[in-house]
Amino acid sequence: MKKPEEILEYLNQKFGEDQLTLERGDIGEPWILVPASMIRDLSKFLRDDSELRFDMLMCLSGLHYLKEEELGVVYHLHSTKLDHYVTLKVRVPVEEPEVPSVESIWKTADWHEREAWDMVGVVFDKHPNLKRILLPDDWIGHPLRKDYVQQEFYQGIPTGE
């Protein structure tokens, strides 16, 4: 069982310093900020390494940071075998919202990534079936973006009140 700090130290030995940073807010849990390009390799390592064994992706959430003009993806991992937790966060600019998919590592990510694409518009690279999941295929925009404006009509049907 490792604490987030220990997990970071362990990962730094493997991936080199300066790549990953442990961040925390004023309250709540800390998270490890991961460069987008690294996320798939890192996830595979987290799942397969004998000292980490993160076999369960509990949750994957997409976020929009309006001020920073960035999109975020948050991964909550748990190891059912070793009973430890870690939170990973990836941030990418809104103009190039590409994050490698982790669907091949944890199957849970399949629908969760589709949801994050649908709701905030993160493009998951190499996802086998990246299309909208909750909204119709021809919907315009990503509703959970902070600057989202709802289309007035959908196929001739008013969407407002």
Partner 1 sequence: MVEILDNIDQREMVINMGPQHPSTHGVLRLELVLDGEIIKKVTPNIGYLHRCFEKYAEQMDDYSKVIPYTDRMDYVSAINQEHGYVLAMERLLEIDVPERVEYIRVIMAELQRIASHLLGIGAFGLDLGAFTPFLYCFTEREKILDIFERTTGARLLYNYMAVGGLMKDVHPEFKTDTADFLKTFRPKIKELNDLLSYNDIFIKRTANIGVLPKQVAINYGASGPVLRGSGVQWDLRKNDPYSIYEKFDFEIPVGMGEMGTLGDCWDRYIVRVREMEQSLRIIEQALDGLPEEGDVTEAVPKRIRPKNGSIYTRSESPRGELGYYIESNNSASPYRVKARAPSFVHLGMLPAISKGSLIADLVAIVGSIDIVLGEVDR
State in angstroms the smallest separation of the CB of 84 from partner 1.
11
Tokens read off for 35: 């460069």
Q: From the list 25, 128, 158, 160, which residue makes contact with partner 1 (rule: CB under 8 A)?
A: 25
- Determine if 22 is a binding residue for partner 1 (CB under 8 A): no
Cα 95–125–65 angle (5° rounding)?
40
**Chain centroid to CA 95:** 17
- Determine if 38 is a binding residue for partner 1 (CB under 8 A): no
- Determine if 135 is a binding residue for partner 1 (CB under 8 A): yes
Q: From the list 43, 110, 117, 122, which residue makes contact with partner 1 (rule: CB under 8 A)?
A: 110
SS3 (DSSP) at 104:
coil
- Determine if 59 is a binding residue for partner 1 (CB under 8 A): yes
**Beta carbons within 10 angstroms of residue 39's beta carbon:** 21
Q: DSSP secondary-structure letter at 47?
A: H
Tokens read off for 36: 């987008």
Which residues, numbered 78-107, are part of the site for partner 1 (CB under 8 A)? 80, 83, 87, 106-107
Positions in the binding site for partner 1 (CB under 8 A): 24-29, 31, 55-59, 61, 63, 74, 76, 80, 83, 87, 106-108, 110-111, 119, 132-136, 143-144
